[in-house]
Structure 1
Amino acid sequence: MSRKYVDILFYSLLAVIVATYTYFTIKTFLPINAYIGDEVWYPTAAYNMLKLIFHISPPMYFPYPDKPGIETFINVCHPPLAKYIMDIFIIVMGYYPLSWRLPSWIIGDLILITGFFFTRDILGKDLIGNLGGIFTSIILASCPNLWVLHGIAMLDIYVAFFSFLSLYFLLKNKLLLSAIFLGLAIASKEPAVMLIFPALYYIGEIERKPIKRAYLGLGIPAFVYLIISLPIIIYEGGPLAWLHAKIANTVVWDISNGHISLDAVTQISEPWDWFLNIHPFNMGHGLYANVNPIIMILWAVTTPLAFVMKNLKMIMTTMFAWSEWLGFVLVYVLGNHTQFSFYVTDFAPFVDSYVVISLFMIARKFYIKKGEEKNIEENKQNYSGGIS
C-alpha cells in the first residue's frame, strides 16, 4: 500500500476517534445545566472582565453562583487568556454553560489531533509512526483527567493544549512558534512557567548564540504574556499596581494552603499521590479528576529509556512533563500542601504521548533485533548450503 493510502486510512481513523470523543463529550456535559467544580470562578471572572474592563455586557442566561463578591471578581491570581477565549463564545452566545464550555470541548479535540501528529513526527511517517499516532490519540481520549477537564470551563486544559503545541513546534525546530505558544500557555496558568527550563536547554542545542537563545526562550514568552495581560495591567492601575496584585494574589496564593481546608483530606492529592490515583478530586455531578496509575507508572519507569537511547526528542517530551510535576513539588515544599489531582491535566499530553512513543521505540528495537538475528541465521544456512 502506498504512503498516500496509508495516510488516508489513518486520517480516517483519527477522524472517527475525534468524532466519537466529541459525541460523548456533548452527551456527558451538555445536560449538566449547573456550575461544575471551579466553574463558579472562571466563567464568572470571564464575564466580569467583559463587563468591567471591556465594557461589554452580553445577555446573562444563567445566574451568578452564590459566592461573596462574585459580581466584581476577575481572578487576578491567574492569567487571563483562558477567560478571554471563553469571552469570545460568551459574546456570541450569551452567558450560560454551553458558551463557556464549548472552547474546552474544541481544545479537547485539538489535543487528540496534535497527539497523533506529534507522535508520528517522532516515530516516523511510516506505518509504525501512523500506528503510534493513533495509539496516542486513543490514550489521550481515554485519559480520565483530560476527559473531565476538557469537558468543563477551567484553566488547566488551556495549559495542556498550548504547552503541547509549544513542544510540538520546538521539536520541529520552529523555535519562534514554540516560544509564542509557550507564552500562551503561561498566559493561561502559572504551571507552564516551569517549561521555560527544558525549552531553554533545547534551544541551546539548536541555537548557540546566547542572546538569541534568551530572546526565544525568555523574551518572546514574556512579551506574549505581558501583551495578553495588558488590559488587566491597565485595569489594576498600571504596572506597579498590577505587579503588587500579582505578588499578593498569585505568588503568596500559590505557596499557601488557602486553596481548600486541610481537613478536606479526600480532596487533597499531592504530586506523589497522582501516580496511584490517591484522592481524585470530586468535581460534583458524579465527575472525578481520576488519574490512570498505569500510564503514570509507565511514564516514570520508561523515562530512563530516553536517556539510554540518547533520543533528544524523547528526552524533551518526558522532561516537559517532569518539569511541570517538579513545579508542583516545589510549591509543596514552599508551603502549599493543598494540591489536587486535576493538576495532572497540565502535563498529561506529554505523559500520554511519551508512554506510547517509548513503548513503540522498545517494540521497534526488539523487531529490528529479531529481524537482524533472522537475517544472520538465514545467511548462515545459505553459507552452509553453499559449502556442502
Structure 2
Amino acid sequence: MIRKYLDLIFYSTLGIVVAVYTYFTVKTFLPVNAYIGDEVWYPTAAYNMLKLIFHVSPPMYFPYPTGHPGICTFINICHPPLAKYIMDIFILIMGYSPLAWRIPSWIIGDLILITGFFFTREVLGKDLIGNLGGIFTAVILASCPNLWVLHGTAMLDIYVAFFSFLSLYFLLKNKLLLSMIFLGLAIASKEPAVMLIFPALYYIGEIEKRPIKRAYLGLAIPALVYIIVSLPIIIYVGGPLAWLHAKIDNTVIWDVSNGHISLNAVTQISAPWDWFLNIHPFGMGHGFYANVNPIIMILWAVTTPIAFIMKNLKMIITTMFAWSEWLGFVLVYILGNHTQFSFYVTDFAPFVDSYVVIVLFTIARKFYIRKEEKNVKENYSGGIS
C-alpha cells in the first residue's frame, strides 16, 4: 500500500514537471511567427514531400522562406525522412504554419522527460532511490538548454534524441526487437544514430549468444526499418540504385565536407570537444542559442570510468550510447567536416543527462549502504561489550 502511494506521489510530481515544461514551451515558442534556425529547410521539405511525393497540398498559411533558390521543390534528400513525415501529419491537419510544424517537437520534448523518469527507474530500481532519481532526471532533461531549444523548433535532432532514448530504454529491459525497431526509427530521423549500432550490438551479444540472431537484431532490423521508412523517397527518385547514388552524393559526401556553413562564421562553428565548454553555441535567431551545460558534460566525462569500475552493464551501455554518437562527430571532423554545431549535442543529450543522474545516485546509494552497515556493526559491537 505504501509503495502504491509513493508511486502516485512520484507520478504526480512527474506530471507537474511535464505540465510546467509544456507551459513554458508554448509561452516561449508560440509567439515566434517566423522560421527559427534550420526551420527554413525541414518544414518546407516536409510540405514539399506532401506536394511532390504524396500529391497532397494542404493550405499554406505561411509563406516559403525567401532567399533560398529551389526551396519550392526541396525535399532534403540528404537527411532521412521520418521527422518530416511526422511534421506532415500535423501540416495535413492544421495547414502549413509554424504551430503545425512545431507541435510534434513539443510533444516529443514532453515524452523525453517521461522516458527519462522511467529509464532512470529501470536502471536504479523501482524503490525510493529509483523514483527520486527518475524525477531528478526529468528535471535535468527539462533544464538542458540544448534540448530546450531543439524541442521548441522543427528540426531533426530532437527526433533522433527521442527514438534513440526509447531504443536504449527497451534495450536495457531486454526487449531487443522493440529496441532495434526504435533504433531504426532514430536512424530514419538523422544519420548520427547509426553509431548506436555498435554499443547496441555489444549489449545484444551479452544477452543473445547466437551470432545469426545478433546480426538479425542489431543490423537487419534497423536497416529494414530505415528502408521501409525511406520507400516513398526511393520510389520518387527512381528506384534503389538512383536512391543510393543520391544518398552517396547528398549524405556521405555532404557529411564529411565543410559545406554546412562558411568557415569564416567562426562564432557559429564548434568542434565536438568545444561542446564540453559551451564554446561558440549555435545562434538560431530570435534570441535562441543552442547552449550546452558544461557542468553536466564534464560530469559525464569524469564519471564514465565509474561505470566500468563498478562493472555495471546498464550504466556502461548508457554512457557508451552517448560516447558513440560523440565519437561519430569526431570521426566526420577527422574526415573533413569542420563545420559542426553545438545543437548536435541534442542527439545524445538524453543519454548524458540521465547517465549523470544515475551515476551520482548510484554513488550516493553505495555511500549510504556502507554508512548503514558501519552503524549496524558499531551498534552490534557496542551491544556485545
TM-score (norm: length of structure 2) = 0.99
CA positional deviation for 1:374 = 0.7
1:290 alignment counterpart: 291
Shift of 1:139: 0.1
AA aligned to 1:28 is T
Is structure 2 residue 337 aligned with structure 1 residue 336?
yes
| 2:355 is equivalent to residue 354 of structure 1 | yes
SS at match of 1:88: helix
Inter-partner Cα distance in structure 2 for 1:132 and 1:57 = 46
Match of 1:44 in 2: 44
For 1:50-89, what aligned pairs fall within 5 Å after superposition? 50-66=50-66, 67-89=68-90
The residue that corresponds to 2:34 in the other structure is 34
User: Aligned with 2:72: secondary structure?
Assistant: helix
In the other structure, the counterpart of 2:241 is: 240
Question: Could you list the per-position Cα deviations for residues 18-73 of structure 1 after superposition, in whole angstroms to 9, with x for gaps in the alignment?
Answer: 00000000000000000000000000000000000000000000000011100000
The aligned runs of 1:205-216 (5 Å cut-off) are 205-216=206-217
- C-alpha distance after superposition, 1:293-330 (max 9, x if no partner): 00000000000000000000000000000000000000
Which shifted more, 318-327 or 119-128? 119-128
Structure 1 residues 116-166: Cα deviation after superposition (integer angstroms, max 9, x where no partner)? 000011111011110000000000000000000000000000000000000
Residues 270-302 of structure 1 show CA distances to partners (whole Å, capped at 9, x for unaligned) of 100000000000000000000000000000000
Matched to 1:30, the amino acid is: L
1:5 counterpart = 2:40: no
Q: Deviations over 1:251-271 (max 9, x none)?
A: 000000000000000000110
Which runs of 4 or more aligned residues in structure 1 lie more than 3 Å from their structure 2 counterparts after TM superposition? none
Q: C-alpha distance in 2, partners of 1:44/1:37? A: 13
Query: 1:305, 1:6 → 2: CA distance?
Result: 30
3-state SS, counterpart of residue 55 of structure 1: coil
1:210-267 CA distance string (max 9 Å, x none): 0100000000000000000000000000000000000000000000000000000000
Partner of 1:16: 16
Q: Secondary structure at the match of 1:282?
A: strand
Q: Is the deviation greater in 51-60 or in 367-376?
A: 367-376
- Secondary structure of residue in 1 paired with 2:289: strand
- Counterpart for residue 271 of structure 1: 272
Structure 2: stretches of 5+ with no match in the other structure: none
Between stretches 102-111 and 365-374, larger displacement belongs to 365-374
Distance (whole Å) between structure 2 residues aligned to residue 123 and residue 195 of structure 1: 22
Q: Tell me, which stretches of 5 or more residues in structure 1 are unaligned?
A: none
For 1:4 and 1:302, the matched residues in 2 are separated by: 33
| Equivalent position of 2:225 in the other structure | 224
Cα distance in 2, alignment partners of residues 197 and 128 from structure 1? 31
Question: What is the Cα deviation at residue 365 of structure 1?
Answer: 0.5
The one-letter amino acid paired with 1:125 is: K
Aligned residue identity for 2:24: F
Query: SS at 1:70's partner residue?
Result: coil
Q: Distance in 2 between matches of 1:296 and 1:103?
A: 27
Identity across aligned pairs (percent)?
Answer: 85
Which residue of the partner structure matches residue 147 of structure 2? 146
Supply the distance in 2 between the matched residues of 1:128 and 1:200 (Cα, whole angstroms): 30
Matched residue SS, 2:92 = helix
- Superposition deviation, residue 378 in structure 1: 0.6
Structure 1 vs Structure 2 CA RMSD: 0.5
1:182 aligns with 183
User: Under a length normalisation based on structure 1, what TM-score does the superposition of the two structures give?
Assistant: 0.99
Query: Number of aligned pairs?
Result: 384
1:165 equivalent in structure 2:
166
